[in-house]
Amino acid sequence: MDWIMDKVEAWRLLDLGIAVGLFLLFLLFRRLFVRFLFAFLMRRLARLELAARVLEAFEKPLRGLFVLLGAYLAILYYIPAHWAIMLVVHKLFRSGMILLIGAGLYNLSAVSSLFMEGALKRFGGDDSSMLIPFLSKAVRFVVIVIAITAVVSEWGFNINGVVAGMGLGSLALALAAKDTLGNILGGVIIILEKPFSKGDWILTPSTEGVVEDITFRSSKIRTFADALVTVPNSTLADQPITNWSRMGRRRITFTLNVALDTEADRLTASIDRIEQYLMDHEDVDDGTIMVKFNEFKESSLGIMLYYFTKTTAWKDHLTVRQDTQLAMLQILKEEGVRLALPVQRVLIDRESGAARNAGDAGLG
């Protein structure tokens, strides 16, 4: 009997060795696949960017497939053919296959975003659109949900009851997540209508700054004080939004106050020279230039100036504003026109003063 047991034990060790060898063989196939076959396919598909990206997305899942197949065949060879054990092994293998396919599709969502980006450009979209990242995140979420659902179903769990339970609880969930859903819908509206894009300078009743990111729930805005403000998308969708980055030109408007005793001919000459200077300035848009004497004030005469710089960059805009205002000061100096200074006039009623003095004398 002992020699029979020894022989059986030897056969089991042999089976174990064959199973381990089978697993190691698939590991070798995995290494050969990566080193030769995958590299060969990548070289052949280098000109087809989309196909190369698809193959690249499934590279790691294909590596995992060799490991999964090696382990599956090794277990089938070594473990006795018992129906309960085989059922678990088959379910583990199918679950692993589902997860590998899900991982490949998850990686493929990045490739699909490139494809959608190309399609968006054909329809006049730009690189700053947040629609592609938004859709990519949605696709990845759907892939994860489907993969988890498929694995759960593979192990015999009835997801119909879960779906029915979700249907019964959907009303309570919708009420509890009303604000969150509103923010998500607001994000969809912002992405589709595109009142602003990433990198734009915007002004709203609640904040002003440069848009750094747009997510499902909120948008992040970097203020000019270098603070990061997170604004719910539902709030942005319901507010008026001024997009300063989409200005074609930038406005300058102010009133130039000159002395009240300025002669009319000197005032007219100054206005004409300032207007001609702005018309000739290469950085000032000559489409809308208004230089008009339009206002009498208590201590000055008001000249309204209204014009636009061609540049919208703040620093360059301030440079043009400085140059034009310094030139205006020089023109006023050459024409002998003084700027108005704060003046306060005091009127003294002599009769009232005399009466007051007389009254004071009588009391003495």
**Confidence tier at 110 by pLDDT (50, 70, 90):** low
pLDDT for 355: 46
| 364 located within any domain | no
Please check whether residue 182 lies inside any domain of the structure. no
For residue 203, the domain's CATH number is 2.30.30.60
Across the range 98-127, mean pLDDT stands at: 65
More confident site: 153 or 292: 292
Residues 217 and 282 in one domain: no
Res 250 pLDDT > 60: yes
The answer to whether residue 272 sits within a structural domain is yes
Q: What is the pLDDT of residues 120-177, one digit of tens each?
A: 555 444 544 555 666 677 778 888 888 888 888 777 776 665 555 555 445 454 555 5
Give the residue numbers spanning the domain of 148: 2-167
Residues 27 and 139 in one domain: yes
Does 347 reside within a domain?
no
Number of domains, the chain = 3
- Do residues 219 and 263 share a domain? no
Do 101 and 10 belong to one domain?
yes
- 228 burial (CB, 10 Å; 0-12 / 13-18 / 19+) is exposed
Q: Estimate the share of the chain in helix, then strand, then coil, as percent rounded to the nearest 5.
A: 65, 15, 20
When the pLDDT of each residue in the chain is averaged and rounded to a whole number, the result is 76
CATH number for 314: 3.30.70.100
Residue 59 and residue 112 in one domain: yes
Reference 227, options 207, 245, 213; nearest CA is 207
Q: Within a domain: residue 180?
A: no
Of the two residues 358 and 146, the one the predictor is more confident about is 146
Single-letter amino acid code for the residue at 154 = E
- Domain match, 157 and 286 both: no
